[in-house]
Amino acid sequence: MIDITTEELKQKLDNKEDFVFIDVREPHEYEQFNLGAQLIPLGTLPHQLDQLEEHKEKEIIIHCRSGARSGNAKNYLAQLGYKNVRNLLGGVLRWIDLYGRD
């Protein structure tokens, strides 16, 4: 599964493409700044798989602050048979570097 760059993600969002978008940061991080993804903190992911089960074959893009937690989430979902999970390289930090907080 190929990870996704910030530029690719922005294009997908701008084009309103259909994919599952998950933020695995903590609620306080999400409140400070978010990209509009569904919040599922990494620690709760195993308990919230029922929300993702119907999307097992769909493209799922996961992000966090820097790409580390979302990389772990990607690997976890891949082990469970999810076919098209992508990690946002550089996470929110890279997004802010390129596009600011708007």
User: If you ran DSSP here, which 8-state letter would residue 58 be given?
Assistant: S
String of b and e for 5-27 (b: at least 16 CB within 10 Å)? Answer: ebeebeebeeeeeebbbbbbbbe
Angle (nearest 5°) at CA 16 between 102 and 99: 25
Catalytic residue among 9, 45, 64, 77: 64
Residue 1's nearest CA partner among 61, 42, 53 is 61
Helix (H, G, I), strand (E, B) or coil at 22: strand
64 is catalytic: yes
Task: Report, as residue numbers or ranges, the catalytic residues.
Answer: 64
